[in-house]
């Protein structure tokens, strides 16, 4: 489950946060940035993803406006 593609896409779009593979074979994470950019990232996660992934379903939750970013870049957590 290489997340390097997700990192590359996030950096290209200019969003920050993290992504992590779960023991259930799913991926979880957090994305922050300008709404338009976050929406582009959500679209990519829903439709494209990494070449080796199969996307059955995406679920976005806890969306809210923030006054400042909690992260300085985008990375993979283990």
pLDDT in tens, 58-68: 999 999 999 99
For residue 38, pLDDT beyond 70: yes
Give pTM, 2 decimals: 0.87
Residue ranges of domains in the chain: 1-74
In degrees, rounded to 5, the angle at the alpha carbon of residue 25 between the alpha carbons of residues 19 and 27 is 20
CA–CA distance, 24 with 38 (Å, rounded to integer): 25
What tokens does 13 get? 């779009």
Q: Which one is the CATH code of 1-74: 3.50.50.60, 3.30.70.100, 1.10.3480.10, 2.60.40.10?
A: 3.30.70.100
For residue 36, pLDDT beyond 60: yes
- What pLDDT shows up at residue 2? 61
Give which of 9, 73, 16 is closest to 40, Cα–Cα.
9
């Amino acid at each position: 489950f290489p997340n390097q593609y997700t990192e590359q896409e996030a950096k290209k779009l200019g969003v920050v946060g993290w992504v992590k593979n779960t023991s259930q074979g799913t991926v979880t994470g957090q994305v922050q940035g300008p709404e338009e950019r976050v929406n582009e990232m959500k679209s990519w996660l829903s439709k494209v993803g990494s070449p080796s992934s199969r996307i059955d379903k995406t679920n976005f939750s806890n969306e809210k406006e923030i006054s400042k970013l909690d992260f300085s870049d985008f990375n993979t957590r283990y």
